[in-house]
């Protein structure tokens, strides 16, 4: 694929387990739980209040009712028969799709390795079969930009806004990538919904105003469950969230682990950029590190303001330097259990692999 694309909430995404019969061999960068057709994993519903949504221009969906043609008298019966037929031919496909990144000892991205250069382990057992392996440097992106708009970041907020706008301008390609912008204090607020229009995204970032407490976990949970998990996909893509915050949460109704679990279920890679410029890693920084590591992302700690822009540039580079593998797990069971993923380079002394750490199997 020669075109490239990205979808934003200023948040970023990662691996998945394919769950439909059509997923085999697609090389999808997302990981959907294997073992069911189009699974939607259930997760605890947060007790947070309903997010505010700032009205933004969006395309009016085409009405299927308006375009429908008159149905024959026996249409209902035919439809029922078709539904029964479809239900009969549905089948389970146990296939896991994972996006991962490889770096050398100097931290440089390695983009020319082959399938034979890796070992794929699912739930402590070697994968039964590797269906597909490819370098994914040009997949469309669905990206969410999550910006902490609480009082704790007021003194550096404008610089962070400008850095985020530059990132969006450089990353989102018209008619290929999409992104959305969410600001959060005590509640998340969508200032720009999914779009490929960088001017609209820039306006969404500039609309953010600092003030109030910090409900970071609620915002991450909302962005994954209500935006990325529900976003349509027409083929292989990468889902990512860029989370810009100091990591100090004092208002959320969901826990850190519940937010991480929702990111895993939505097949999202989360990149975190700390706004702590004290020169010392604090408690919030360790929280951001945990979120990034468990979702296959990467934490950034720019202790000087100008380094924030550099962090955005490195994220953009990484999104174009990834691999995608599709494999069949050994001893797979539809038990809803969390299964670990481990991708190891054969030359593990030279190469370091970073991917999401696991996924939730579907239930029967």
DSSP string of 52-119, one letter each residue: EE-----PPPPPHHHHPPPPPTTHHHHHHHHHHHHHHH-----EEEEEEEEE-TTS-B-----GGGEE
End-to-end CA distance of the chain: 36
Is the pLDDT score of 11 beyond 60?
A: no
User: What is the distance between the alpha carbons of residues 8 and 143, in angstroms, rounded to a whole number?
Assistant: 3
Averaged pLDDT for residues 234-245:
87
Task: Please state whether the predicted TM-score (pTM) of the whole model is above 0.95.
Answer: no
Tokens of 149: 């708009």
Tokens of 136: 């994914």
Please provide the DSSP assignment of 222-243 as one string: HIIIIIITTS--SS--EEEEEE
Average pLDDT, the chain: 78
Query: Measured between alpha carbons, how far is residue 93 from residues 34, 68, 129, 181 in Å?
Result: 6, 33, 13, 34
Angle among Cα 114, 116, 121 to the nearest 5 degrees reads: 110
Q: Is the dihedral of CA 355, 11, 19, 195 positive or negative?
A: negative
Averaged pLDDT for residues 78-102:
61
Task: For residue 141, give the H/E element and its range.
Answer: strand 141-148
Q: Residue 48's Cα: distance from chain center in Å?
A: 21
Strands 338-345 and 358-360, bridge-based pairing: antiparallel
Confidence of residue 244 (pLDDT cuts 50, 70, 90): very high
- Asked whether 41 and 33 are in contact (CB, 8 A), the reply is yes
Confidence of residue 93 (pLDDT cuts 50, 70, 90): low
């Amino acid at each position: 694929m020669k075109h490239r694309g990205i979808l934003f909430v200023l948040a970023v995404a990662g691996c998945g387990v394919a769950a439909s019969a059509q997923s085999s061999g697609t090389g999808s960068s997302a990981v959907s739980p294997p073992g069911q057709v189009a699974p939607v994993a259930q997760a605890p519903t947060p007790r947070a209040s309903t997010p505010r949504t700032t009205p933004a221009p969006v395309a009016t969906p085409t009405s299927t009712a308006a375009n429908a043609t008159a149905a024959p008298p026996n249409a209902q019966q035919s439809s029922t028969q078709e539904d029964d037929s479809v239900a009969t031919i549905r089948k389970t496909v146990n296939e896991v799709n994972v996006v991962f990144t490889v770096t050398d000892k100097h931290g440089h991205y390695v983009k020319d390795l082959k399938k034979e250069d890796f070992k794929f382990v699912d739930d402590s057992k070697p994968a039964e079969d590797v269906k597909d392996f490819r370098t994914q440097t040009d997949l469309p992106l669905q990206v969410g930009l999550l910006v902490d708009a609480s009082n704790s970041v007021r003194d550096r907020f404008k610089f962070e806004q400008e850095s985020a706008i530059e990132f969006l301008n450089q990353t989102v390609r018209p008619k290929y990538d999409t992104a959305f912008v969410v600001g959060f204090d005590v509640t998340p607020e969508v200032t720009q919904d999914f779009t490929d229009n960088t001017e609209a995204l820039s306006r969404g970032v500039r609309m953010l105003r600092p003030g109030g407490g910090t409900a970071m976990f609620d915002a991450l949970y909302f962005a994954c469950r209500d935006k990325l998990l529900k976003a349509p996909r027409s083929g292989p893509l990468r889902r990512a969230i860029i989370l810009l915050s100091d990591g100090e949460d004092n208002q959320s109704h969901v826990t850190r682990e519940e937010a991480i679990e929702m990111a895993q279920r939505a097949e999202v890679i989360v990149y975190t950029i700390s706004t702590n410029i004290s020169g010392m890693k604090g408690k919030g920084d360790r929280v951001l590190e945990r979120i990034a590591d468990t979702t296959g992302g990467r934490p950034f700690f720019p202790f000087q303001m100008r380094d924030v822009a550099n962090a955005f540039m490195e994220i953009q580079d990484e999104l174009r330097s990834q691999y995608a593998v599709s494999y069949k797990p050994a001893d797979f069971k539809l038990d809803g259990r969390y299964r670990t993923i481990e991708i190891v380079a054969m030359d593990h002394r030279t190469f370091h692999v970073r991917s999401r750490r696991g996924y939730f199997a579907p239930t029967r």
